[in-house]
Amino acid sequence: MKKIEVIQNVLEANESIAKRNQQLLDKHKVFAINIMSAPGAGKTSLILHTMSRLRAKLNIAVIEGDVASTVDAEKVQNVAKAVIQINTQNMPESCSLMAAMIEPALKELPLDDIELLLIENVGNLICPSEFTLGEHKRVVISSLPEGDDKPIKYPLIFIDAHAVIINKMDLLPYVDFDIATFRHSIAGLNPKAEIFQLSCKTGEGIEKWCSWVLKQLETNAKTIEASHTS
Amino acid sequence: MKKIEVIQNVLEANESIAKRNQQLLDKHKVFAINIMSAPGAGKTSLILHTMSRLRAKLNIAVIEGDVASTVDAEKVQNVAKAVIQINTQNMPESCSLMAAMIEPALKELPLDDIELLLIENVGNLICPSEFTLGEHKRVVISSLPEGDDKPIKYPLIFIDAHAVIINKMDLLPYVDFDIATFRHSIAGLNPKAEIFQLSCKTGEGIEKWCSWVLKQLETNAKTIEASHTS
């Protein structure tokens, strides 16, 4: 079928651009995280919390992916070292960022002055699972009001996530969400994924998440250094 | 660009199958509603409430669209006259139902014994806006925890909705959501859209929504009848 062939070509092209993006990031010692979730699960809030806690230690840039609007970019622009907005509305793939959209954005960023790049993907639990961007870690946020069945209904995005965040823990008394059920589903799909429970409203759990980010960044830096000296 | 051409062909083919679907539905006097939202906004809960309130008056069937799993179909199967599950995971378009997926489903349904067909689309605020299915009315659910900026960030799906539902009104004291801001955004994009505020948890507002459904169904039946006699 013609359309499937075309999609296959798009995915292969995406892989090769993503590799190039990661090489560029590694060359400049920039650690990149791809943050994915359904609309309204808290990607921008997580980015704001992460920046406010880590900005004393790291220079942080943000790439904001949205179908339309610049509202998220406006929220982060005073805190980030640099912000690039990507609007996907008129692009061939509007429901996800793709490596080919990140490539020109990286050229706009002052990579030598940045240690951490947070990429906020388009709000979607389906399309972003198909496209790597060149990121070092993939993170999926689920929020309590969405319900504990999301890993069963949208398995692909959870299967290759390095970390899964359960956000809006402050709403636990008011919604039907069984933490054990959710954790059990993640363990079945992706037992290596780190799971963080936090609330971007109260700040609960943010510190643990930020420690993990720092640790991943340091580990990645050591790996790159080792590969240069070997 | 090859991919864009292919997408254009897919969209045109979809339109023509959607028309065929609607002709079949009209022939059998079945009124169909396409229910769209982000993951976890309450599509299944709305369907359950609608069935429980209208089943004494109408025979209702449900088509459940999901990437994977049958959990939603299982929830509705005891209440609906008939249920068809469509899993999109291995289909050419996994992030939305398409008219070509609905066509074989309609053949499986006892159309002569049904007055109302509720179609639960895949949880996504982007892809479903591109594909009509043959439905008579398009409904988008936004839920309070997602935030009041969703119409600005995902305008296309709201632009051609006949009704917009604000769900999870019971969470209003616990989340930051300004009803006036949301309503203002909808009025800007689509001033004709009916807006319903409701809670599938408490049942608040469900009656008004169901009255609207009944009225739309009756109006549609009269239109079809008039076109036959004219």
Question: By the CB < 8 Å criterion, does B170 face chain A?
Answer: yes
Q: Assign domain B2-229 to a CATH class.
A: alpha beta
CA atoms within 13 A on the CB side of A97: 30
Where do we find the tokens 């249920």?
Answer: B83
**Secondary structure, 3-state, A77-93:** CCCCCEEEEEECCCCCC
B219/A90: higher pLDDT = B219
At residue B207, the pLDDT reads 98
At residue B229, the pLDDT reads 80
Structure tokens at B116: 């109302």
Q: Which residue of B has its CA nearest to A69?
A: B153
Q: To the nearest whole angstrom, how far is the Cα of B4 from the nearest Cα of chain A?
A: 6
Interface mutation target, options B6, B91, B159, B174, chain A, most CBs of A under 10 Å:
B174
Over 70: is that where the pLDDT of A1 sits? no
Q: To the nearest whole angstrom, how far is the Cα of A59 from the nearest Cα of chain B?
A: 28
Q: Name residues 109-138 of chain A within 8 A of B (Cβ).
A: 122-127
Are B67 and A95 within 8 A, CB to CB?
Answer: no
Residues of A in contact with B89 (CB under 8 A): 156
Pairwise CA distance, residues B168 & B122, whole Å: 19
Residue (of B68, B70, B124) closest to A189 by Cα position: B68
What does the pLDDT average to over B75-101? Answer: 92
Phi, psi of A104, rounded to the nearest 5 degrees = -65, -30
Q: What is the ipTM of this complex?
A: 0.92
At residue A5, the pLDDT reads 67
Question: By the CB < 8 Å criterion, does B2 face chain A?
Answer: yes
3-state secondary structure of B19: helix
> What are the sequence ranges of the domains in chain A?
2-229
Question: By the CB < 8 Å criterion, does A66 face chain B?
Answer: yes
pLDDT band at B38 (very low <50, low <70, confident <90, very high): very high
Quote the pTM value: 0.94
Q: Name residues 24-43 of chain A within 8 A of B (Cβ).
A: 38-40
Question: By the CB < 8 Å criterion, does B70 face chain A?
Answer: no
Q: Percentage helix, strand, coil, to 5, in chain B?
A: 50, 20, 35
At residue A91, the pLDDT reads 82
Structure tokens at A207: 């510190």
Beta bridge partners of B66: B87
Structure tokens at B52: 């429980």
At residue B1, the pLDDT reads 46
Question: By the CB < 8 Å criterion, does B95 face chain A?
Answer: yes
Are B124 and A122 within 8 A, CB to CB?
Answer: no
At residue A3, the pLDDT reads 57
Phi, psi of A190, rounded to the nearest 5 degrees = -160, 75
Q: Which residues of B190-209 are buried (b: 16+ CB within 10 A; e: fewer)?
A: beebbbbbbbbbeeebbeeb
Interface mutation target, options A4, A9, A122, A146, chain B, most CBs of B under 10 Å:
A146
Where do we find the tokens 């892989």?
Answer: A15
Residue A41 and residue A120 in contact, taking contact as beta carbons nearer than 8 Å: no
Question: By the CB < 8 Å criterion, does A90 face chain B?
Answer: no
Residue A3 CA from chain centroid, whole number: 28
Are A126 and B4 within 8 A, CB to CB?
Answer: no
Residue (of A78, A84, A39) closest to A65 by Cα position: A84
Q: Which residues of A9-23 are buried (b: 16+ CB within 10 A; e: fewer)?
A: ebeeebeebbeebbe
Quick: pLDDT tens for B196-205: 999 999 999 9
Question: By the CB < 8 Å criterion, does A187 face chain B?
Answer: no
